[in-house]
Amino acid sequence: MTEVGRHRQGASWSKKIAKYVEMLRITVLTDLAYAYDMLSRQLFLAVVMFVFVKLWSATYRWEGAVSIGGYTMRQMLWYLALTESISMSTPRTAADIDDDVRSGSLAYSLTKPYKYPWFLYAKHMGKALVGFSGSLIIAGAVVWIAVGPPPVTALSCALGLLTALLACTLDFWAQVAIGLSAFWIEDGSPYRLLYSRVKMLLGGMLLPLELFPDVLRRVVAFLPVGQIYHGPVKTFVSLSLHEFVGTVAKQVLWTIVFIALAGAVYKAGVRRVNVHGG
Amino acid sequence: MVDMATAISTKNLTKVFRTATKEPGLKGSIRSTFRPSVREIHAVKGIDLEVERGEVVAFIGPNGAGKSTTIKMLTGILYPTSGEANVLGFVPWRDRESLSYKIGSVFGQKSQLWYHLPPSDTFNLLAKIYEMDRGEYGKRKDFLVQAFEIGPFFNQPVRKLSLGQRMRCEIAASLLHGPEVIFLDEPTIGLDVVARQNVRQTLKRWNDEEKATVFLTSHDVGDIEYLADRVIIINHGQVVMDDKVKNLKYHYLNKKIVDLRVSGEVKLPALEGVKIVKQAKSGLKLEVDTEVIDINAAVSHILKECEVQDISISDRPLEDIIAAIYQREEVAP
């Protein structure tokens, strides 16, 4: 028997968490290995933001209003810069899981002492961190030139970051639940597409929820998709403590729902792992 | 109750895969949508195994024999359809996490190294995954880097390494946490002759020092000859032979195949222990019985007699050995 080959199950919580932090770090390192490629891919975002700047400038001029739906033009354009950056940098974790299930990579991960979903969570957050930073540099530069610095305060930034973290977590668990359906269904891409489109159209990526028809706004404001773009971004650019508390409560609630759902799907699915001989 | 000297044991271990099948054509597609037909593949059929601690066992068989499925059940990846297994006192599929600290695995077709980062980063990650202390990790890493001679490329991105270098890193990474049992599933697959030999030598050197239990699958008989003490041959999901490697060598690995490409017509004089298997215009295939004549002596003789353009020496294919085992069993009372 080897000297170090002993059971380390009694290791401290800090060691148990450290493995996921290291996973996040290594994901950041991997994504940074191609930072220039990533930035050049996101140059398209500059074009999108330029179009938004022109479109909203014309709209505000045409309306002759200082604010639309409670947003000044500066708030509106920074709102869009942030939602577009989130959209561009959201990791495709559901597709990765689908691939892991079908290729057998998930099966191989079972021989390591970590929890697959939490490992993916660390990876998701690492990818989101690098991707979002890159996107925001591009989108933010265009909007800054057009309308000046972001309308934020230290408090709105701190609380906005908290809701952004929760939004990313919520989105991750929703994607896990969708991705793990690969254990049962032949092709998960329609479900992934449906989720991403609903998130984009109803989640406030293209328009703040305040500009939606009243009934739709009320419904979406409660649904998980309303907490991924609109919730955190509104906190950044137009902080209301009352809305912030509501957003956090809904984010936590929906995250718990998706963790429970993903946990049940994972538990049932892992028995179906099929990897044929090599 | 499991004997403390036993590292791996299985009893009637069975795995049946159920695969959906689709009939050809539009009609078939529609029919299978509403009434899918399922085909059962009996990958492993009631295997009984006992492996002692410290043993180096080669678990071999042709493609589709069930060896990888067995290894996946022993490492906890797959649930068996029926039967029992015990690895170091754990039921692999039930006690996955506890067992994972005590075993290591290398799946030749599945890398655990991060492709765009140097092996050193994967080692750091694995040290955290296995919750190793900093001092323990440092010592272990130094030992493995030296034993596997991976120092010169330890800080180069994996994508820039050759297959052989990558596999040495892969194996070293799987040994980082000091596993008591290591499962090597086709560790030399896809490697050229030199890289294959290098990996074998490194593994041998490491195990001479650590004396861990090694469970190796391969369909390369060279791996077995070089590394293992005992060989278990599996075919169609069943064990067809479980014996010492020296007995396998004596009975079945005593013949080498020599393929020659020659210029001009060849008239090879008869030589005891050398049999012509196939002869073509510019090619010759010989079978050399190494019990009768040394392979070096046979090759020297051949080189003297004909103008050789190319030569290759290989073991008998595993399929031939298995066929010979069946024949021997049929002949034996």
pLDDT score of A36: 81
pLDDT at residue B329 in the model: 57
- Residue A133 identity: S
Optimal mutation site among B33, B129, B142, interface A, most CBs of chain A within 10 A? B129
Q: Between A and B, how many residue pairs show a Cβ–Cβ distance under 8 A?
A: 119
State the Cα–Cα distance between residues B29 and A126, nearest whole angstrom: 43
- Contacts for B71 with CB less than 8 Å, ≥ 6 apart: B59, B105, B183, B185, B215, B217
> Is the pLDDT confidence value at A126 over 80?
yes
pLDDT at B326: 67
Q: What is the DSSP string of B149-211?
A: T-GGGTTS-GGGS-HHHHHHHHHHHHTTT--SEEEEESTTTT--HHHHHHHHHHHHHHHHHH-
Q: Is the pLDDT of residue A52 over 70?
A: yes
Provide the pairing of β-strand B283-289 with B308-315: unpaired
Say if the Cβ atoms of B77 and A108 lie within 8 Å: yes
Helix (H) or strand (E) holding B44: strand B37-52
In Å, the largest CA–CA distance within chain A is 80
Its pTM stands at 0.78
CA distance B72 to chain A (A): 8
Output the pLDDT for position A162. 95
pLDDT tens string A246-268: 999 999 999 999 999 998 888 88
Q: Which residues of A touch B100 (CB under 8 A)?
A: 111-113
- Is A234 buried (19+), middle (13-18) or exposed (0-12) by CB count in 10 A? buried
- Spell out which chain A residues touch chain B, with contact meaning CB-CB distance below 8 angstroms: 1-9, 11, 15-16, 18-19, 21-23, 26, 29-30, 33-34, 104-105, 107-108, 110-114, 271, 273-278
Question: Over the stretch B212-249, which tens digit does the pLDDT of each residue have?
Answer: 899 998 877 788 888 888 999 888 899 988 988 888 77
User: How high is the mean pLDDT of chain B?
Assistant: 85
Alpha-carbon distance A261 to nearest alpha carbon in chain B (angstroms): 22
Least CB–CB distance from A1: residue in B109, B129, B180: B180
Residue A66 tokens read as: 């200082």
Residue A276: predicted pLDDT: 47
Chain B residues touching A14 at Cβ < 8 A: none
Whether residue B258 contacts residue B285, with contact meaning beta carbons closer than 8 Å, is answered with yes
Considering only the beta carbons, identify the residue of A5, A108, A277 that sits closest to B43: A277
Whether the predicted pLDDT of A278 surpasses 50: no
Mean pLDDT value across residues A112-116: 89
pLDDT at B19 over 80: no
Is the pLDDT score of B14 beyond 90? yes
Is the pLDDT reported for residue B73 higher than 50?
Answer: yes
> Closest by alpha carbon to B113, among B153, B152, B159?
B159
pLDDT at B3 (0 to 100): 63
Looking at residue A108, its pLDDT comes to: 80
Cα–Cα distance, B6 to B102 (Å, whole number): 14
Which chain A residue shows the shortest CA-CA distance from B237? A277
Q: Is the pLDDT at B191 greater than 60, yes or no?
A: yes
What's the whole-number average pLDDT of chain A?
88
- Point out the least confidently predicted range of A130-144, A181-195, B312-326: B312-326
Lowest mean pLDDT among A58-72, A92-106, A113-127: A92-106
Per-residue pLDDT, B2: 54
With an 8 Å Cβ cutoff, are B77 and A107 in contact?
yes
Pick from B17, B107, B210: CB nearest A278: B107
Does B33 score more than 80 pLDDT?
A: no
Lowest mean pLDDT among A182-196, A245-259, B5-19: A182-196
Q: Is B293 in a helix, a strand, or coil? A: coil
Longest alpha-carbon distance in chain B = 70
Q: What is the pLDDT of residue A217?
A: 92
Quick check: A227 and A209 in contact, CB under 8 A? no
DSSP code string of B79-104: --SEEEEEETTB-TTTSHHHHHTTEE
Minimum mean pLDDT range among A30-44, A218-232, B104-118: A30-44
Residue to mutate among B67, B93, B131, B209, with most A CBs inside 10 A, is B131
Note whether A5 contacts B97, CB cutoff 8 Å.
Answer: no
Lowest mean pLDDT among A132-136, A230-234, B142-146, B203-207: B203-207
In terms of pLDDT, which residue wins out, A10 or A156?
A: A156
- Min CA distance, B75 vs chain A (Å)? 6
pLDDT at A4: 46
Least confident of A34-38, A208-212, B30-34, B272-276: B30-34
A172-176, B177-181, B279-283, B314-318: range with lowest mean pLDDT: B314-318
Instruction: Report which of residues B18 and A78 the model is more confident about.
Output: A78
How high is the pLDDT of residue B21?
Answer: 75
Confidence of residue B318 (pLDDT cuts 50, 70, 90): low
> Which tokens sit at A217?
């706004």
Higher-pLDDT residue of A4 and A45 is: A45
